[in-house]
Amino acid sequence: MRKSKRTRLKAAGWVVGSVKEFLGLSEADTALIEMKLALSQSLRDRRKKQGLSQVQLAERLQSSQSRVAKIEAGDPSVSMDLLVSSLLILGASSADLAKTIRGGEKRKGPHAA
């Protein structure tokens, strides 16, 4: 959030904080959420870069389009196993996964804690 917006919200009486503070998350929970979001975004980016639709990826994963949509949206029901195996099926290496996870720790945006 921009500093000017944060200042305006505080001046209007709003309490501005992080998702971590609001939900009372531990450092471990926060790190796990950030990793899952980073991996989900990586999967979406990799799928689009390869010119695949969600349906085509679902066929490769032997799953459904709606499940792929949940994976890409970072749905809490999606396991880390499914995220990682999906990325591997799209050709990601262990180095790619490590880079994504490290980048996820520094992630900024609407889902950042």
pLDDT at residue 60 in the model: 96
pTM: 0.75
On whether residue 4 sits in a domain, the answer given is no
pLDDT at residue 73 in the model: 95
Closest to 72 measured CA to CA, from 109, 47, 92: 47
pLDDT at residue 59 in the model: 97
On whether residue 38 sits in a domain, the answer given is yes
Q: Average pLDDT of each block of 10 consecutive residues along the chain (113 residues)?
A: 85 82 87 92 97 97 96 94 96 95 59 40
pLDDT at residue 105 in the model: 47
Write the DSSP string, the chain: --HHHHHHHHHTT-----HHHHHT--HHHHHHHHHHHHHHHHHHHHHHHTT--HHHHHHHHTS-HHHHHHHHHT-TTS-HHHHHHHHHHTT--HHHHHHHHHHHHT--STT--
On whether residue 48 sits in a domain, the answer given is yes
On whether residue 8 sits in a domain, the answer given is no
Tracing tokens 């950030």 back to the chain, one arrives at: 34
Tracing tokens 């998350």 back to the chain, one arrives at: 25
On whether residue 110 sits in a domain, the answer given is no
On whether residue 89 sits in a domain, the answer given is yes
On whether residue 12 sits in a domain, the answer given is no
pLDDT at residue 89 in the model: 96
State which residues form the domain around 100.
18-105
CATH number at residue 94: 1.10.260.40
Quote the number of domains for the chain. 1
Burial of 11 (0-12, 13-18, 19+ CB in 10 A): exposed
On whether residue 10 sits in a domain, the answer given is no
pLDDT at residue 97 in the model: 96
